Amino acid sequence: MENKGILVINPGSTSTKIGVFENEKLVFEKNIHHNGEEIEQLNSIQEQISFRKEIIFKVLEENNYNVSNLAIIMARGGLLKPVVSGVYQVNDLMIHDLTNAPKFHASNLAALIANEIAKTQNIAAYIADPVVVDELSDVARYTGHPEFSRISIFHALNQKAVARKFASTIDKNYEDLNLIITHIGGGITVGAHQKGKVIDVNQGYDGEGPFSPERSGTVPSGDLIKKAFSGKYTEKQMHEMIVGKGGVSAYLGTNNMIEVENRIEAGDNKATEVLEAMCYQIGKTIGSMAVALKGKVDAILVTGGVAHSDFVIAKLKDYTEFIAPISVFPGEDELEALAYNGEMILQNNIEVKTYK
């Protein structure tokens, strides 16, 4: 009997999400939570890989899933060199670049773990639409000074998957549509998708764009320079001010959007104003992406965890629905998106690219 299982791996800083799919159906999924102190005691990437790999094997066994039934392994893409959208087989260069990346991010572990498990079964591991997908137009790269260039780091996997899902609901191909896709989670990215390519997007990883539950977004550059050279803050503290401890968290003391909405319902005017300000900034960014598409926008799609919020969706419709109709795809089912790409590989419906 031909193997048909797809193991999907998506690590976080203190968790590892896995799922097993067969014939486009979920067999089981598990969000494995790790003890923070235990993770901190792992002193190398290799120790992290070994630790998480063994836990994945244990969970597969606990769910009575025979690892020999796997056909391929799909992993979330990490901070690699810029690549075009698509699926890539994990190769030696990818392993080298992820292992030696200048910035550590939990997503860097995914392909490394997948490769280790794949080797035990003599099968292949792949990534799909990593965060470094780069399809920016030439003019979108300009910042205003040659020392700086805009780069593309965004929620590529979820944005591309949602785009294809929306296209299928209207019997169209993603490559035939102009879409503005907004991912609202801990970070926020808004992409201008022109006929299957993201020609512009805010670089949410370092905080560019609208402020989010935990990122400050684009702040006044003059004030930022003054604070950086004031002597009051270390480089780490400045970075945390922009990414991690900024945005809604800085204004309200929490990045929990359910708590924020509860405060709004209880009559907290400050919480109401902050959340509306976030929506206002998202709306302005959506408007700028409409300019990137020269006003030819078929739809605005909203996704990510915060897309569950009725308050946020209502405000975004108020600010931007004049541009194009809005469709909402709440959540960020990256496991499903990776499995979808894996199924296309097994059915030979997608070209597998080489990372180089």
HSE on the CB side for 272, CA within 13 Å?
6
The b/e string for 116-139 (b: 16+ C-beta within 10 A; e otherwise) is bbbeebebbbbbbbbbbbbbbeee
CA dist., res. 30 & res. 340, Å (int): 18
Q: Tell me what pLDDT residue 101 has.
A: 84
Strand ranges in the chain using DSSP code E only, listed in sequence order = 5-11, 15-22, 25-33, 70-76, 87-89, 124-128, 178-184, 188-194, 197-201, 299-304, 326-330, 352-353
Residues 319 and 179 in one domain: yes
The structure tokens 């598990």 sit at 30
Rounded to two decimals, the pTM is 0.90
Residues 347 and 313 in one domain: no
How do residues 47-82 score in pLDDT, each as one tens digit?
889 999 999 999 999 999 999 999 999 999 989 999
Q: Tell me what pLDDT residue 136 has.
A: 98
Nearest to 205 by CA among 331, 118, 107, 344: 107
Residues 89 and 166 in one domain: no
Q: Tell me what pLDDT residue 46 has.
A: 86
Number of domains comprising the chain = 2
Q: For residue 121, which amino acid is it?
A: Q
Q: Tell me what pLDDT residue 7 has.
A: 97
Residues 185 and 313 in one domain: yes
**Residue 145 falls inside a structural domain:** no
Q: Which two tokens stand for residue 24?
A: 């486009």
Q: Tell me what pLDDT residue 273 has.
A: 98
CA dist., res. 240 & res. 253, Å (int): 14
**Residue 185 falls inside a structural domain:** yes
Q: Tell me what pLDDT residue 13 has.
A: 73
Q: Tell me what pLDDT residue 119 has.
A: 95
Residues 162 and 56 in one domain: no
**Residue 139 falls inside a structural domain:** no
Q: Which residue stretches of the chain have pLDDT < 70? A: 1, 36
191 in Cβ contact with 129 (< 8 Å): no
Residues 305 and 211 in one domain: yes
Residue span of the structural domain in which 11 resides: 5-132+335-353
Residues 215 and 319 in one domain: yes
Residues 169 and 100 in one domain: no
Q: Tell me what pLDDT residue 339 has.
A: 95
**Residue 349 falls inside a structural domain:** yes
Q: For residue 146, which amino acid is it?
A: P
Residues 341 and 291 in one domain: no
- C-alpha distances in Å from residue 24, one per residue of 15, 65, 337, 338, 339: 24, 17, 11, 11, 7
CATH number where 75 lies: 3.30.420.40
Q: Beta partners for 10?
A: 17
Q: Tell me what pLDDT residue 331 has.
A: 87
Rg (CA), the chain: 21
**Residue 148 falls inside a structural domain:** no
Q: Which two tokens stand for residue 126?
A: 């792949």
Residues 315 and 190 in one domain: yes
Residues 327 and 202 in one domain: yes
Residues 50 and 184 in one domain: no
**Residue 86 falls inside a structural domain:** yes
Q: Tell me what pLDDT residue 41 has.
A: 78
